[in-house]
Amino acid sequence: MNKLYPNLVRAVVAAIQQIFNEKRYADKVIEKILKSNKKWGARDRAFIAESVYEIVRWWRLLLEISGVGYRETPRHLDEATIWQIFGTWWLYEGRSLPHWVEFERINSQQMQRTYDRVTDIRKIIQSIPDWLDELGEQALKDRWEIELEASNQLAQVVLRTNTLKTTRVALQKALYEAGIDTYPIKDYPAALVLKERRNVFGSELFKKGLFEIQDAGSQAIAEMLAVQPGMRVIDACAGAGGKTLHLAALMANQGRIIALDVVAGKLQELRKRARRAGISIVETRPIDNNKVIKRLTASADRLLLDVPCSGLGVLRRNPDAKWKLSPDFITQVQQMQANILANYSLMVKPGGQLVYATCSLLPSENEQQVEKFLHENKNRFKLLTERHLTPATHGFDGFYMAALERVR
């Protein structure tokens, strides 16, 4: 869309106000705003969602070149300033602005001069906080710059075929007949990538449970567990259950999966998704006390620990995380990861396996956590294999995963 419509821009401005002034999550804000006007069509909804995400992605750069200025400490921005930032983004994308009063404060020549001045300053041109740029460079060295550039690209939409109901070939054909063009990708046997971004949740094929939206990197995690039909599997940080559903499909809906999470509301969404997918082997249990874990001691053939993390591997999909993270949070989440590994690993039976996984790029959340755990449990667990998937090297979201076997 190259033409601006006032009601759509107002919706974008309102979303930006909620994300930055009220500290709300971008996906929740967009979901609520899109529900506020049933007259908006698919193009209108796409414009609002994509505009919000791109402005959030390039927030620091836009503040700098708009003349508003960036501060590490968050501040409240009035509506007129956010209109100015929207207009700056529109010009930055190479488009022309209409002669609206809301855009009168924008000086395109000053914008260009500022851009030329900051173009070699990575933290500005790649739009990240100072502390995060320093942390990334310290942790990843020369890899940080290419990962940062890749993380600022728009994420592809990847589907996971529900192999309990169809095959990837049959799904691709059915999607094509429904006007949705996709292509398969090597090494991800259930994945299909949309050739053009679009909302597929309204598709009858989705409603029938033939596919889920799940990034390629995320699909690799369930595959690493090497599950078989009939196994007893625990997904201990299940959330809304994307990987739980994948595990059930890999198990041919035979055996038992116990899905755990500290947030009971997420498990409600998992139950709904499982019904749509035709899955009957999943049992959900909220972790509301320590006894939940203790009762499952040495009971699992396989255990998935998809632990809370910084999310630095999925910034393409969740760009607002850059502005909500803090050094203190990363320290806290690392302690949480270590505690989960130490306590939840007891649920694996001798001879069983666990997979530890994050969507982070930081070694301190990934291999260093596993190394520390193995050092403390050298007679009980051994490392089988590990993988690093990154936006720059694999083209999809960033994940770390390690498979460990309990030897006694």
For the full predicted model, state whether its pTM sits above 0.75: yes
Sorting pLDDT into bands at 50, 70 and 90, what band is 24? very high
Q: Which residues pair with 348 in a beta bridge?
A: 300
Phi-psi region for residue 137, left (φ > 0), alpha (ψ -120 to 50) or beta?
Answer: alpha
Q: Which residues pair with 285 in a beta bridge?
A: 260
Q: CATH class for domain 158-213? A: alpha beta
10 touches 33 (CB < 8 A): no
Supply φ then ψ for residue 396, to 5 degrees. -125, -165
Number of Cβ within 10 Å of residue 71's Cβ equals 9
Q: What is the mean pLDDT of residues 25-40?
A: 94
Q: For residue 306, which of 268, 348, 366, 355 has the smallest C-alpha distance? A: 355
| Fold type of domain 220-406 | Rossmann fold (3.40.50)
Dump pLDDT digits (tens) for 215-259: 999 999 999 999 999 999 999 999 999 999 999 999 999 999 999
pLDDT of 43 above 70: yes
- Distance, in Å, from the CA atom of 339 to the CA atom of 171, rounded to the nearest integer, reads 41
Q: For residue 384, which of 367, 404, 370, 369 has the smallest C-alpha distance? A: 404
The rounded mean pLDDT for the chain is: 96
pLDDT recorded at residue 72: 86
Dump pLDDT digits (tens) for 61-98: 999 999 999 988 878 999 999 999 999 999 999 999 99
Q: What is the mean pLDDT of residues 312-329?
A: 95
CA distances in angstroms from 14 to 29, 89, 213, 293, listed in the order given: 9, 16, 27, 43
- Distance, in Å, from the CA atom of 182 to the CA atom of 174, rounded to the nearest integer, reads 10
pLDDT recorded at residue 1: 66
Dump pLDDT digits (tens) for 89-131: 999 999 999 999 999 999 999 999 999 999 999 999 999 999 9
Q: CATH class for domain 6-127? A: mainly alpha
Sorting pLDDT into bands at 50, 70 and 90, what band is 198? confident
Dump pLDDT digits (tens) for 334-389: 999 999 999 999 999 999 999 999 999 999 999 999 999 999 998 999 999 999 99
373 touches 343 (CB < 8 A): no
Residues of the chain with CATH 3.30.70.1170: 158-213
Q: For residue 337, which of 300, 371, 314 has the smallest C-alpha distance? A: 371
Residues of the chain with CATH 1.10.940: 6-127
pLDDT recorded at residue 181: 97
Whole-number percent of the chain with pLDDT over 90: 95
Whole-number percent of the chain with pLDDT over 70: 100
Q: What is the mean pLDDT of residues 283-297?
A: 95
- Distance, in Å, from the CA atom of 319 to the CA atom of 311, rounded to the nearest integer, reads 10
- HEC-encoded secondary structure of the chain: CCCCCHHHHHHHHHHHHHHHCCCCCHHHHHHHHHHCCCCCCHHHHHHHHHHHHHHHHCHHHHHHHHCCCCCCCCCCCCHHHHHHHHHHHHHHCCCCCCCCHHHCCCCHHHHHHHHHHHCCCHHHHCCCCHHHHHHHHHHHCCHHHHHHHHHCCCCCCEEEECCCCCCHHHHHHHHHHCCCCEEECCCCCCEEEECCCCCCCCCHHHHCCCEEECCHHHHHHHHHCCCCCCCEEEECCCCCCHHHHHHHHHCCCCCEEEEEECCHHHHHHHHHHHHHHCCCCEEEEECCCCHHHHCCCCCEEEEEEECCCCCHHHCCCCCCHHHHCCHHHHHHHHHHHHHHHHHHHHHEEEEEEEEEEECCCCCCCCHHHHHHHHHHCCCCEEEEEEEEECHHHHCCCCEEEEEEEECC
Unique residue bearing structure tokens 């940062």: 148
Residues of the chain with CATH 3.40.50.150: 220-406
Dump pLDDT digits (tens) for 127-185: 999 999 999 999 999 999 999 999 999 999 999 999 999 999 999 999 999 999 999 99
